[in-house]
Structure 1
Amino acid sequence: MFEAEDIREWRGHDVVDVDRRKIGTLEAIYVDTATDQPSFATVTVGMPTRRRLIFVPLTGATVGPGYLKVAYDRALAKDAPAIDVDGELLAEDEPAVFAHYDLPYQTGAGGERRLGRR
């Protein structure tokens, strides 16, 4: 796993699934606000005229020469909740991102957001 601080080096690299099939291009990292650890990546997908950012968990992700490999299938990732390339994940949309991957979701102790963009 790479550190969230290294995102500048990995932005724009391919994101591939468990079978090394390309999902898209790494855009940003969202950290878990409770742990400050990388939690999700946003990945640019779609045609040049209709790009969007999907969310893919970083649990079990590894890096290779020029790519980030995630532990999820491409089809599952491409059906994930998405935002516009210049959009932002709204607080009320966070639970849907976790639910899509069957991951547990709970807000912070004070009800704060779970994901923060890095």
Structure 2
Amino acid sequence: MMIETSTIDTVMGSTAYDKDGDKIGTVGQVYVDPDDGHAVWASVNTGFFGTSESFVPLENASFDSDGLRVQYDKAFVKDAPRIDVDGELSTEDQEALYQYYGVSSGSTGGAGYTDTADSTDRRDTVGGPGHDTSGPNTDDAMTRSEQKLNVGTQKVQTGKARLRKYVVTEQQNVTVPVQREEVRLEREPITDANVGDAVSGADLSSEEHEVTLTEERVVVNKETVPVERVRLDKDIVTEQQTVTEDVAREEIELEGDDTTARGTGRDRI
């Protein structure tokens, strides 16, 4: 299966998925064979915020409205050799990729599979200037690309909170009313009402009378009672943060010595 040349522009910027359907990242550049123009390699932004790019062969890859699907695992693609995306794959770059993915230059459709000098020169220019989907060997147009800043959020652990119960001892002062009995001496005169009790005994005698006194004493008893329930809960607080990142874009200049051409000798697009 081969990516159609007519769809290459659409492939760039699409989402790349691995063989199990897991998202790998966003397709950056597509590199083509200078001999017949078919797609050979694709660079995929795999890092956070798209800061890292990995190359993946397009052998047996497919493309539809959902995105690009390659025949390799997501983790395997992310661990591919890191190569600068500068519009050209050198011979060393391609050899490192061929060896990592276990494919030959012929199986990926890349030029230079034979030992002839002509084929070697072609392999040196795979994905080079004019071969990244357009150029002098494909058509009369040049593709201008620019980086797009994709900003997302990632949940990370910032700390932990726990509930801990411990015993605190404090003094409390409580005022309690208590009662006690005290002796009071009372005297009463002899009257007709009590004269009988007064003269009922001997005329002269020695006697003792005893009275029992009582008092209240404070008794303290402590009781443990539940007073409240305490639990941990989390609130989500939303705040605005500004992310500043450099993005690169391509610019196309028109250069020429023909002063009769429209505009000046150099126009920038």
TM range (shorter): 0.7 to 0.9
* Deviating more after overlay: 27-36 vs 65-74: 27-36
Identity %: 38
SS at match of 1:92: helix
CA distance in 2, matches of 1:98, 1:22: 23
CA distance in 2, matches of 1:2, 1:25: 17
Is 1:37 equivalent to 2:46 in the alignment? no
* Residue pairs, 1:1-80, within 5 angstroms: 1-48=2-49, 51-80=51-80
Contact 1:99 1:105 in 2 (8 A): no
Contact 1:52 1:84 in 2 (8 A): no
SS at match of 1:82: coil
CA distance in 2, matches of 1:6, 1:15: 14
Contact 2:12 2:30 in 1 (8 A): no
More strand by share: 1
**1:37 shift after superposition:** 1.7
Deviation string, structure 1 residues 10-40 (Cα, Å, up to 9, x no partner): 2211100011101111112112334432111
Relative contact order: is structure 1 or structure 2 higher (C-alpha 8 Å, sep ≥ 6)?
Answer: 1
Consecutive unaligned residues in structure 1, runs of 5 or more: none
SS at match of 2:80: coil
CA distance in 1, matches of 2:27, 2:4: 14
Deviation string, structure 1 residues 19-71 (Cα, Å, up to 9, x no partner): 110111111211233443211111111012x7122111111111232211111
Which residue type is aligned with residue 92 of structure 1?
E
Consecutive unaligned residues in structure 2, runs of 5 or more: 134-269
Which residue type is aligned with residue 46 of structure 2?
V
More helix by share: 1
**1:86 shift after superposition:** 5.3
TM-score, normalization by structure 2: 0.39
CA distance in 2, matches of 1:113, 1:51: 30
